[in-house]
Amino acid sequence: MGIIACVYTGCTDGQANLNVTRKIFDAFNAHDWPGMLSHYADTATFEDPEFAVPVRGRAAMEKHHRELHAMVPNIRDSIRTITAVHNKVVIEFISTGTTSNGEHFALPICTVLTFNNGKVIHDATYYSNCQQ
């Protein structure tokens, strides 16, 4: 008789990942892009319905967020729910702001962050920006 065990090395502390996620959102709301992206791996990928291919690397993600901030100077995200499962954190939130042409929006978004060694390695963001 033998015992077989398997260890999933991709798992990290869920509470630590939740804490990092909250820091990411705090930095986003402060428009502190370098601070926000300091929690991402250098080679992290960012998937967003706006892009045909994922954005790769912190420098490209910072450029994207600076452009977003220029279009929506008062952008802010409010977390509705947040859950950690293994090495992933799932966040439902509402992104609000006023565009440069004066239009206010409130957009429901869901993001799945994948962590490795305390850093985000993949950010998959889902939303529909279709007008009804």
Q: What value does the mean pLDDT take over residues 54-78?
A: 94
Our separate counts of H helices and E strands in the chain read 3, 6
- Confidence check: pLDDT of 128 > 80: yes
Domains of the chain, first to last: 14-126 (3.10.450.50)
- Confidence check: pLDDT of 8 > 50: no
- Confidence check: pLDDT of 2 > 80: no
pLDDT over 90 for what percent of the chain?
79
